[in-house]
Amino acid sequence: MQKRLCDYHDGEDMDLVALLKVVEPRTSQRGQHYLAITFSDQSGTLRGNLWQATKQDLATFTPGTLVQITGRRTTYHGQAQVTLDNLQVVGPNEGYDLGQFVRSAPLPIAEAEEGISKKLFAIANPTWNRIVRYLLSKWHDRFFTYPAGKSNHHAVRAGLAFHTYTMLQVAAGLCKVYPQLDESLLYAGCILHDMGKVIELSGPVSTQYTKNGNLIGHLVLIDEQIVLAAQHLGLDEKSEDLLLLRHMVLAHHGQLDYGSPKRPALLEAEILHRIDDLDASVYAITAALQKTEPGNFTNPIPAQDNRRFYRPEHNQSLRKIKRLD
């Protein structure tokens, strides 16, 4: 069986096909042009630099392109990378499927869809149920295949649905502990809060921000979708039910500095924000720990204020879950 990106160890020669996930033109301190590349396959991602890059290289090696890599696995400043010897485009007639090189969420799509559907049936408020049902149907294919981000948490195929599924499981547990929570509102908020990413992002392969994503962002995009859904369904746009649902999605980042136009002013909106932050943090820390040998600290995690987390030598819990990133 041919090795994949993350199967190699330091010092080993590498010879494999991978996907160009990110390609960034840069200039070194000495004025040398190069391409900072993130390679991807189903085992994960690996960085590498193409030195002395030309304009032709920039036009040739674009995100979403399959390439044949030859080089060596090395480590630089504690970060695994490939030191490239050669990079060559793989032609469309060589029998490769792009899906072979895109990492997917550890939860099967069918299981995520079933779990989300069960929580949809638990939304008793008719306004919220109809809007969530309508938008899930409208964006079904994207919602269950798109990532939840370009490079941070859940940045894998079907990561958006996986993120939503796990948040709903946490929400269900909290509703049992805190019966004062409106279960219907919290479930509706969990399902809709990141649905704007189906418009904000380009898709699961070589994910980029769209024009709408860069200029508007997923919080405002999903708020717009909720209003359009209400209009399509003939619902009262001035009702409190609609106002509460819109507040849930607009406030879910929690802080103005983090992109929310309003801070949470509902108990359920505050809980939604905290569940979202919790799930994103658990995902990011777990992914870093999975790349770390027992008895060592992770590399600094940007989404966690560049903190490093320790992987205990005898903790077997990480082996119980599939590789996240």
State the pLDDT at residue 42. 84
State the pLDDT at residue 323. 75
State the pLDDT at residue 275. 98
Phi, then psi, of 323 in degrees rounded to 5: -60, 130
State the pLDDT at residue 305. 92
- In 3D space, the residue among 98, 110, 222 whose CA is nearest the CA of residue 158 turns out to be 110
Cβ atoms of 124 and 67 within 8 Å: the answer is no
DSSP code at position 304:
G
pLDDT in tens, the chain (325 residues): 678 898 899 999 999 999 998 899 999 988 899 999 999 888 888 999 999 999 999 999 998 899 999 999 999 887 889 999 999 999 877 778 777 788 889 999 999 999 999 999 999 999 999 999 999 999 999 999 999 998 778 989 999 999 999 999 999 999 999 999 999 999 999 999 999 999 999 998 878 899 999 999 999 999 999 999 999 999 999 999 999 999 999 999 998 888 889 999 999 999 999 999 999 999 999 999 988 889 999 989 998 999 999 999 987 788 777 777 6
Largest CA distance in the chain: 64
User: CA-to-CA distance for 281 and 263, rounded, in angstroms?
Assistant: 20
User: CA-to-CA distance for 245 and 303, rounded, in angstroms?
Assistant: 28
State the pLDDT at residue 110. 96
User: CA-to-CA distance for 248 and 223, rounded, in angstroms?
Assistant: 9
269 CA to centre of own chain: 22
> How far are the Cα atoms of 18, 136, 167 from residue 132, in angstroms, in the given order?
38, 6, 16
Cβ atoms of 49 and 2 within 8 Å: the answer is no
The first and second tokens of residue 229, run together, are 């859904």
Cβ atoms of 260 and 269 within 8 Å: the answer is no
State the pLDDT at residue 325. 67
DSSP code at position 310:
B
Domains of the chain (ranges plus CATH)?
A: 5-100 (2.40.50.140), 109-283 (1.10.3210)
State the pLDDT at residue 159. 95
State the pLDDT at residue 216. 96
DSSP 2-40: ---GGG--TT-EEEEEEEEEEEEEEE-TTS-EEEEEEEE
